[in-house]
Amino acid sequence: MTVKDLVETLQLKVFSGSTGMNREVTGGYSSDLLSDVMGNAESGMVWITLQTHVNVMAIASLKELSAIILVKGFEPEENTLTQSNVEGIPILGTTLQTFEISGKLYQLLNS
C-alpha cells in the first residue's frame, strides 16, 4: 500500500511532500514522544502524532518513515512544511484523534 492509497482511503489532507506519495507503507507508529519514535519506529512506517514542529521531519527523514499524519486538525509549522517538501516525505492531516485514526490505519493495513 502506498501513501497515496492511504490518503484516498482514509480521506486525509495532504499538506506537503507530495513527491513522496508513492512511498510504500509498511506499518504505523503512534506517539508524541520523539525519542520513542526515534528508538522504536521502523522505516516505511507512517507516524501518527500531534507534534507539528520541524524536528518531526528530522526524525521522519533519519528513520526513513513513509509519511506523517497529524491528528485533530493540527497543521504543520512553516519550516516543517518546507522540510517535508525537501525530503519528499508527505505530511498528511486528519480531524480524527490518534486512537481513531490509528484504529483505521491498523484495520486497513491488516485487511
Residues that bind another protein (CB under 8 A): 32-36, 38-39, 43, 49, 51, 53-55, 58-59, 61-63, 79
CB of 27 to another protein, least distance (A): 15
CB of 111 to another protein, least distance (A): 28
- CB-nearer residue toward another protein: 34 or 109: 34
- Residue recorded with cell 484516498: 8
**What is the residue type of 88?**
G
| Number of Cβ within a 10 Å radius of residue 43 | 12
**Whole-number Å distance between alpha carbons of 57 and 50:** 13
- CB-nearer residue toward another protein: 7 or 45: 45
- CB-nearer residue toward another protein: 10 or 61: 61
CB of 37 to another protein, least distance (A): 8
Q: CB within 8 A of 40, min separation 6: which ones?
A: 29, 31
Q: Please name every residue paired with 13 in a beta bridge, in sequence order, or none if there are none.
A: 93
CB of 57 to another protein, least distance (A): 8
**Whole-number Å distance between alpha carbons of 99 and 73:** 14
- CB-nearer residue toward another protein: 53 or 72: 53
